[in-house]
């Protein structure tokens, strides 16, 4: 009896009103929920994300998913645990869950190939620039790199190899920091994400740049939603 009463607290009319409000005011939230609840790890970026139906236990979202030139309309269900208590609380609850789904994850730095590769390369450039210096780098190359590799480095870079390494490191630092600042501001302005969550995005983007910037842009390329106090 109690379970049934919870399920029917959101009727069809209320469901339509809530979905229309979400589609109009909170597209960033719907994208975040769709990305977080896609069933396959290698799923493509969802587009045309729309809320279709809501009950106390689930929110049904439709989206378009494309593989090359082939596109298909798919749907998924976002589960609420615990269930939504009333129709009046539905939007606030969905926005809260969406903002949690929108937060950056530190594990991406090591569980995803491109961020891990960029992190390793940037760390290597920083170590060569800040710790080894020009003489130390040359000594490391002489002792660790085969003669053929040394000849290739000498042919391509001549005596400017350390200068290239140093310039690459500082360029990466500046570029990643600029991306981080931009994304933090845009997430705050367009997705109304909290300050600490924006700071976390900034810190992780400073580490690896574009791969995480691309993730964040999913949430900033939507119209600005209404803020939730």
Model pLDDT for residues 155-202, shown as the tens digit of each residue: 888 788 899 999 999 999 999 999 999 999 999 988 889 999 999 999
Tokens for 55, please give them: 């009950």
Check if the beta carbon of residue 208 is closer than 8 Å to that of residue 109. yes
Confidence of residue 148 (pLDDT cuts 50, 70, 90): confident
Q: Kindly tell me if the per-residue pLDDT of 1 is higher than 50.
A: no
Confidence of residue 82 (pLDDT cuts 50, 70, 90): confident
3-state secondary structure 76-127: EEEECCCCCCCHHHHHHHHHHHHHHHHCCCCCHHHHCHHHHHHHHHHHHHHH
- Based on C-alpha coordinates, what's the Rg of the chain? 24
Which residues, other chains included, contact 213 with Cβ-Cβ below 8 Å and sequence gap of 6+? 179, 183, 205
Q: Kindly tell me if the per-residue pLDDT of 227 is higher than 70.
A: no
More confident residue, 227 or 153: 153
- Report yes or no on whether pTM surpasses 0.85: no
Distance between CA atoms of 50 and 80, rounded to whole angstroms?
18
Report the SS3 class of residue 70.
Answer: strand
Report the pLDDT value the prediction gives residue 130, as an integer from 0 to 100. 94
Average pLDDT over residues 131-142: 87
Beta strands, E only, the chain = 47-54, 58-67, 70-79
Distance between CA atoms of 34 and 61, rounded to whole angstroms?
7
Q: Kindly tell me if the per-residue pLDDT of 48 is higher than 50.
A: yes
């Amino acid at each position: 009896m109690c379970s049934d009463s919870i399920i029917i607290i959101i009727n069809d009319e209320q469901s339509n009103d809530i979905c229309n409000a979400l589609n109009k005011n909170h597209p960033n939230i719907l994208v975040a929920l769709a990305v977080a609840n896609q069933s396959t790890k290698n799923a493509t970026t969802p587009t045309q994300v729309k809320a279709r139906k809501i009950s106390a236990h689930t929110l049904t979202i439709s989206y378009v998913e494309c593989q090359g030139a082939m596109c298909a309309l798919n749907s998924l269900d976002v589960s609420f645990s615990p269930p939504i208590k009333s129709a009046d609380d539905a939007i606030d609850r969905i926005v809260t869950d969406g903002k949690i789904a929108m937060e950056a994850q530190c594990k991406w730095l090591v569980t995803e190939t491109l961020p891990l590769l960029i992190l390793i390369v940037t760390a290597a450039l920083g170590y060569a620039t800040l710790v080894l210096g020009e003489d130390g780098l040359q000594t490391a190359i002489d002792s660790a790199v085969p003669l053929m590799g040394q000849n290739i480095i000498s042919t391509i870079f001549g005596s400017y190899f350390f200068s290239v390494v140093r310039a690459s490191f500082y360029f990466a630092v500046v570029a990643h920091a600029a991306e981080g600042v931009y994304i933090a501001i845009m997430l705050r302005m367009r997705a109304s994400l909290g300050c600490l969550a924006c700071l976390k995005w900034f810190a992780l983007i400073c580490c690896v740049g574009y791969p995480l910037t691309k993730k964040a842009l999913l949430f900033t390329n939507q119209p600005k939603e209404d803020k939730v106090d």
